[in-house]
Amino acid sequence: MSQSHTSSVPTTPSRTTANVVRGCLGNLIEWYDWFVYATFSIYFAAVFFPEGNRTAQLLSTAVVFAVGFLMRPLGGWLLGAYADRYGRRRALTLSVTLMSIGSLTIAATPSHETIGLWAPALLILARLAQGLSVGGEFGSSASYLAEIAPPGRRGFYSSFQYVSIVLGQLAALLVMIVLQRLLTEGQLETWGWRVPFLIGAVAGLAVMYLRRTMEESEHFRQEQARAAERDPAVKERTGLAALFSEYPRRLIAVFGLAIGGTVAFYTYTTYLQKYLVNTAGIPKPTVSLIGFAALFIYMLLQPVAGHLSDRVGRRPVMFGFAIGGMVLTVPIMTVLGRTSSPWIAFLLMTTALTFLSGYSALAAIIKAEMFPTKVRALGVGLPHALVAAVFGGMTEPIALALKNGGHETLFFWYVTGCIALTFLATLLVREPSRTSLLETTDADHPAPARLVRGVVDS
């Protein structure tokens, strides 16, 4: 395979930075909208699901959170294929529009007491739209950031995808902290929880404009030019046909790489705040401050881990996450459930998130490097969305169901087992930064290259 570098990728730091900022601002609002649901569910659970005890109500909202994940594979397929055919910019603009519509619907939906079963029904419909949006966001965003980054710094620039994801979480937490200071508990539970959804819907309008002004990826433009010059008599597979027939083993590899990181991410960034309230008994406002501080440090670690992967490779950094996660998950979760000290909770949460950075900073680039431009957004987005639906979306329901059944410690071992699967996948994958398809044009690799070892060899 020849290693002809794509010379038309933007090389000036100012152009690259401007595109990264515009792309990440949209990603921030997308994930703010997504995580506002998880963050504020402790306040609106009784509004939509008034029956049962507190754990049962939280379980109901967690199930709806999981329902949104069911749409993510469809979003990964439809918007991923759309991005590969019509461009990353168009797909990213469409995804944020869907997210805003979902947020506005939740903000405006009356309570169960007012409209009965229509309340949870509208909540589910809104989460389905948001799931479709997020499912398409990851692959398109990962492809865009990886493609506009200069060679040798793709890990660093791609890590800003999770910087913007965490910024979205921090924004959701910040809104919660502010509202907790301004409103009473009763006001938050009756109408205050609607405010963050309204903020997300309005912010989405500004993001739609920003994404319409982004520059299109030069990799995508090159692929369009190559497709235009191709002999019409020569048929070339695209979309799902190309993905499943030419790159099936890479799909398996991406699936394995994503399992442990996805489950750990939703455990330590989303479920953990409910865990500290519901199991450890730490007050909600204190938990919000703990989560905000730990996530802020976690956000700063993303470019550090991304830069490290540019220097030493993707696999060593991923191994750091996998080994740390397998060894520390059970003791960290056990101590967190028994502590009443905010400082111990903060230190343990930060420790877990530090190791998680080894996955999240690389989640975009390690997968984008495995696929050519013609199927990159689809190849990254679809398997990631499948993992998110099957494993990520079920993280909270599994945790809460095991707690409700008196077997909460089993959840800690479940998370450990999922991380072990990522460890095995990392063993099989060849060093992606040295075999990256981002450094070649699609014409340079008409046949799949060997990027994966053993049973998942291409």
Give 351-385 pLDDT, tens digit per residue.
999 999 999 999 888 888 888 888 888 888 888 88
- Predicted local distance difference test score (pLDDT) of residue 450: 54
Per-residue pLDDT tens over the stretch 370-424? 888 888 888 888 888 889 888 887 888 899 889 888 888 999 999 999 999 999 9
Q: What is the mean pLDDT of residues 294-311?
A: 94
Whole-model pTM: value is 0.78
Least confident of 54-68, 282-296, 364-378: 54-68
Q: How far is CA 287 from CA 256, 290, 292, 312, in A?
A: 32, 5, 8, 36
Q: Percentage of the chain with pLDDT > 90? A: 23
- Predicted local distance difference test score (pLDDT) of residue 307: 94
396 located within any domain? yes
How many independent structural domains does the chain possess?
1
- Predicted local distance difference test score (pLDDT) of residue 440: 59
Q: What is the mean pLDDT of residues 252-260?
A: 91
- Predicted local distance difference test score (pLDDT) of residue 13: 67
Per-residue pLDDT tens over the stretch 1-12? 333 344 444 456
d(CA 131, CA 13): 34
For CA atoms 283, 286, 290, 295, the dihedral sign is positive
The better pLDDT of the pair 322, 436 is held by 322
230 located within any domain? no
The better pLDDT of the pair 358, 113 is held by 358
Q: Give the CATH number of the domain where residue 202 resides.
A: 1.20.1250.20
- Predicted local distance difference test score (pLDDT) of residue 205: 78
Contact by Cβ (8 Å): 140, 98: no
Per-residue pLDDT tens over the stretch 190-236? 888 899 999 988 888 778 777 777 777 777 788 777 766 765 655 66
Contact by Cβ (8 Å): 109, 122: yes
For residue 291, give its domain range. 13-220+238-456
- Predicted local distance difference test score (pLDDT) of residue 42: 77
- Predicted local distance difference test score (pLDDT) of residue 2: 37
- Predicted local distance difference test score (pLDDT) of residue 1: 37
Q: What is the mean pLDDT of residues 51-76?
A: 73
227 located within any domain? no
446 located within any domain? yes
The three-state DSSP-derived secondary structure of the chain is: CCCCCCCCCCCCHHHHHHHHHHHHHHHHHHHHHHHHHHHHHHHHHHHHCCCCCHHHHHHHHHHHHHHHHHCHHHHHHHHHHHHHHHCHHHHHHHHHHHHHHHHHHHHHCCCHHHHCCHHHHHHHHHHHHHHHHHHHHHHHHHHHHHHHCCCCCHHHHHCHHHHHHHHHHHHHHHHHHHHHHHCCHHHHHHHHCHHHHHHHHHHHHHHHHHHHCCCCCHHHHHHHHHHHHCCCCCCCCCHHHHHHHHCHHHHHHHHHHHHHHHHHHHHHHHHHHHHHHHCCCCCHHHHHHHHHHHHHHHHHHHHHHHHHHHHHCHHHHHHHHHHHHHHHHHHHHHHHHHCCCHHHHHHHHHHHHHHHHHHHCCCCHHHHCCCCHHHHHHHHHHHHHHHHHHHHCCHHHHHHHHHHCCCCHHHHHHHHHHHHHHHHHHHHECCHHHCCHHHCCHHHCCCCCCCECHHHCC
270 located within any domain? yes
The better pLDDT of the pair 221, 453 is held by 221
d(CA 166, CA 445): 35
228 located within any domain? no
225 located within any domain? no
- Number of Cβ within 10 Å of residue 250's Cβ equals 24
5 located within any domain? no
- Predicted local distance difference test score (pLDDT) of residue 123: 85
